[in-house]
Copies of this chain bind each other. A is one copy, B any other.
């Protein structure tokens, strides 16, 4: 290993250390911090972000990385990839003048505040101007980074390295073409699926214990993780040895608590499956948001909303909640997969979820590319909802104001959710092929075989490969909607057939 490369690794290790600190402080803020700590914590996180930005945009580091990049032919392949990954971050950090970075940080706070007020008032009007400013700033950032490529691609890259509009457009178009007719079938079937397996009165302690037993069976290692409660469930994994997952339980509806815990545990298994030896290396960590999301969705939708899963777990759920003693496998399977149009993305089902994403993707792409303006947003939203889902929001609170992403400046994030769904289905098909009796195993409560397959085939690579390489390696094919189409069509057939 050259001295220059060793220096790169050691500088980057310290940057990762500070990011780890940032993650834990962010987790603490959501899960542990008393309200009185909010003000000081905001300062601490801002100062720490400044320190990290200073380190990533440090001139010495930039020089080092360009020097190594200049002689990349002499590096070993893993070193070459590490140099490319670091260079990408360094270039991103140095492309933005300090003035613009400060403007964006300020605009984010202001825009989120204005969004909160507007959402509470259920009216888009007061939010328009702040959002327009945010979009202008984001376009400016994208312009500095994009080179000759499209502006939107430069923003995508923050969440999904290597992804482009040119790649995503056909995938999301195909997803739309698949979903709209399936939704029409669901609506036409007029079947009202009984929800009694999940809706009623359920002791929160019993819910918590049951979901804990599921995630433990999935293989979450509690010597290297915590399960806590928070208003918005999330997985704040920072490294294989310290993963923080949260849930929320509702006495009247167990779905959010159970499927939420399984979803976050899918993220958690990915983090725990990363190679601990790479925890402080540029090659360590998750590949992308979509690959991360594929792991949570796979466990939530492809496993835990499946019939085989419930063969084993329904009797156990009945022990936790004795009032369910008469519930059948068909009932719990159907209730896990109720489909139909709804207003709120985070409450939507596996089928319509992707339509919510298509709506947001098309809008934000067109916004950043300058095809529409921020002031058009609400109308575009409501038209899109009618066209895709056949319903129109009664007010902006359940419409264009429902998500925090745009107010926070997160443009390019939404599509990773649907890409995650597609990856999940494609990985699951590959797993089913590799493990001949996977469903029989799931039906016996064996979640370990699948987990180990994912660990070996997906998790353990860390960032040594990119998402496109990974999916070809694991499934033999580039990402497409095919596997998801088979998966979701089978569910629609079974329940709304």
Mark A residues whose CB is within 8 Å of B.
13-14, 17-18, 20-21, 24-25, 28, 32-41, 43-44, 46-48, 50-51, 221-226, 238-243, 279-280
Contacts and interface: CB of A to CB of B under 8 A. Distances in A.
Contacts of A241: 34, 36-40
Given A21-B21, A51-B18, A224 B36 contact: yes
27 contacts: A14-B47, A14-B50, A17-B40, A17-B47, A17-B48, A18-B44, A18-B51, A20-B40, A21-B25, A21-B48, A24-B24, A34-B222, A34-B225, A34-B226, A34-B241, A35-B223, A36-B224, A36-B241, A37-B238, A37-B241, A37-B242, A38-B241, A39-B241, A40-B238, A40-B241, A40-B279, A40-B280
Nearest to A225: B34
A32 B33 CA distance: 12
Contacts of A243: 34
Contacts of A14: 47, 50
Given A17-B44, A28-B28, A40-B242, 6 more contacts: A20-B41, A21-B47, A25-B25, A34-B224, A34-B241, A38-B241
Nearest to A43: B17
Contacts of A47: 14, 17-18, 21
A308 to B, nearest CB: 31
Between A47, A221, A223, the greatest number of chain B beta carbons within 10 A of the residue's beta carbon is seen for A47
Given A21-B44, A21-B48, A25-B25, A32 B34 contact: no
A389 to B, nearest CB: 42
List the 4 shortest-distance A-B pairs measured between CB atoms, nearest first: A37-B242, A36-B224, A36-B241, A17-B47
Contacts of A242: 33-34, 36-37, 40-41
A455 to B, nearest CB: 16
Contacts of A28: 24, 28, 32
